[in-house]
Amino acid sequence: MGKPLNVGTPLNVGIVGCGTIVGQYLASLRRLKGVELVAVADLDADRARAVAKEWTTDARDVRAVTVAELLAAEDVDLVLNLTVPAAHAEIALKAIAAGKHVYGEKPLAATTDEARQVLEAAQQADVTVGCAPDTVLGTGIQTARKAIDDGLIGRPVAATATMVTPGHERWHPNPDFYYAPGGGPLLDMGPYYITALVTLLGPVTSVIGAASHPRPEREIGSGPRAGERVPVSVDTHVTGVLVHESGALSTLVVSFDAVATHSSNIEVHGPRGSLAVPDPNHFEGDTRLFRLGADVWETLPISAGYLNSGRGYCIADLATTPPTHEPRASGTLAYHVLDIMESLLASAADGASVTLSSRATPPAAVPLTDLSRTEVDAP
């Protein structure tokens, strides 16, 4: 059994994986009360040592250790799993076996089978599992959710979600995992959009999808490997329709094969108005409303969410969630999102609608809160 998460008690964090994304988490950890970084590990020991050196001060000692040492450390309460998607389940299961709580980057695992093992192991060990994205807890998506909850557009009937880019190989020095199993635009960027759609409109009951894989390899455009070509073994353009339990229909397009779009990241439509929702890959952004009978879009004032937040705020949210409640960025929600994505790909493969076996309750709304200064309200 793991150490209980006690509201108001400092939470000691150990990070596994010190790659590109770690900097964004470190920036947030510096601002959060009640969350302390105590150890870091990476297969590249130099990267771990660099992070530890940056964080060690007269008042704080951050250790660079091996993964095994970090998992065994008695002072690590929660493992922040920032490894590549193919390793998410392996590290999570080892952390759970060591009695640690886990928060991981998305997706929860490479497959729903692996993700199910993680959740079952966590339940047996009585530890908590959380998973990115936590961008939906920021003021952007939460302000949009409040507008919907307040009835500004009436009962939602439809939504669109669009993400297109030529591909991450243009800027990422090691983009291989984006084009390997567990990657692709759906599993890489889809979690942001689908988590936002579930947060705004509720769980999904069935999906139908289509996908394509037009290029067998990609050329790295920056860094020491520039010019090197990497194989593509996943679909790089995916589209689908999500049928929500509420009756709303969401149309999703995610692509590593398109250059640009004029479409809003997310739009939600109802009989009384339409909402333009900000980029779900960010914590902030304007929510715009076009009311029935109006002449122009209006920008809504920020009314909900964690102010000035960033990747890692979910950890403070988790640490302040009572044991009787599920954290907002929960493993259950991440499993439902993964199930949606896997079902979309299955539908694309055989051309038939897929009924989902999972269900998740949308996370509790976040009142307007500055988490770096005050405690979050319990969900």
What are the tens digits of pLDDT across the range 295-312? 999 999 999 999 999 999
Least confident of 1-10, 62-71, 270-279: 1-10
Confidence band of 182 (pLDDT split at 50, 70, 90): confident
Average pLDDT score over residue span 63-71: 97
Average pLDDT score over residue span 27-53: 93
Indicate whether 92 pLDDT > 70: yes
Instruction: Give the Cα separation of 119 and 326 in Å (integer).
Output: 13
pTM of the model: 0.92
Indicate whether 50 pLDDT > 50: yes
Q: What architecture does CATH give domain 135-302+339-355?
A: 2-Layer Sandwich (3.30)
Per-residue confidence (pLDDT) for residue 250, from 0 to 100: 98
* CATH no. of 11-131: 3.40.50.720
Q: How far is CA 359 from CA 107, 242, 267, 322, in A?
A: 17, 13, 23, 22
Residue 67 near residue 100, CB atoms below 8 Å: no
H runs (alpha helix) in the chain: 22-29, 45-55, 67-72, 88-97, 112-125, 139-149, 184-201, 313-319, 331-350
Start-to-end CA span in the chain (Å):
24
Confidence band of 55 (pLDDT split at 50, 70, 90): confident
**What residue spans define the domains of the chain?**
11-131, 135-302+339-355
**Residues 6 or more apart whose Cβ sits within 8 Å of residue 190:** 163, 238, 252, 254, 337, 341
Indicate whether 23 pLDDT > 70: yes
Decide which of 278 and 371 is more confident.
Answer: 278
Indicate whether 28 pLDDT > 70: yes
**Residues 6 or more apart whose Cβ sits within 8 Å of residue 47:** 18, 19
Per-residue confidence (pLDDT) for residue 340, from 0 to 100: 98
Average pLDDT score over residue span 209-214: 96
Average pLDDT score over residue span 101-112: 94
pLDDT tens, residue by residue, 313-328 = 989 888 877 777 789 9
Per-residue confidence (pLDDT) for residue 378, from 0 to 100: 37
Residue 103's SS3 state is strand
Per-residue confidence (pLDDT) for residue 6, from 0 to 100: 56
Confidence band of 2 (pLDDT split at 50, 70, 90): low
Structure tokens at 87: 């390793």
Average pLDDT score over residue span 144-158: 98
Confidence band of 5 (pLDDT split at 50, 70, 90): low
**Residues 6 or more apart whose Cβ sits within 8 Å of residue 222:** 170, 171, 172, 173
